[in-house]
Amino acid sequence: MRSEAKPSLALRLAAWGGLLFLHVPLALIVLYAFSAEDKSYVFPPPALTTQWFGVALQRDDVWAALTLSAKVAALSTAIAIVLGTLAAGALARTRFFGREAVNLLLILPIALPGVLTGMALRSAYHAMEIPFSFWTIVIG
């Protein structure tokens, strides 16, 4: 029976450091979302409240953004499921020249940061004079 080697202490510390680097700023943002202070950021917050969520949910532009996001997410997910299933079936069943290149093109959006991809698509839409709309977001 083969024994598994434990990761070194340095590797474990690096992993925890990476997790903290990513999650501590998010935790601070969540904490400040509940802060009772409305003009300055003091740590720790003087009091906690949910009033800002009520203020945000009363605004029409916030609801419009949430509705648009939900519509885009639902349609994009449905399209991705259909196209992804078809592409996976084609790549798994057939061998053809350029198969690995097609595979790379399908994996690439996962590897690139979404913000970078979104900015590149927005620039491409502008360069081709395509007006920004619901459908350009779904395509992105």
- How far apart CA 3 and CA 119 sit, in angstroms, is 47
Tens of pLDDT, residue by residue over 11-59, are: 999 999 999 999 999 998 888 888 888 777 778 888 888 888 998 899 9
pLDDT of residue 4: 75
Which of the four pLDDT bands, split at 50, 70 and 90, describes residue 62?
very high
CB 38, CB 46: distance < 8 Å: no
Q: Is the pLDDT of residue 86 over 70?
A: yes
pLDDT of residue 69: 94
Tens of pLDDT, residue by residue over 95-126, are: 888 888 888 888 887 888 888 888 888 899 99
Which of the four pLDDT bands, split at 50, 70 and 90, describes residue 1?
low
Q: Is the pLDDT of residue 81 over 80?
A: yes
Output the 3-class SS for 30-81. HHHHCECCCCCCCCCCCCECCHHHHHHHCCHHHHHHHHHHHHHHHHHHHHHH
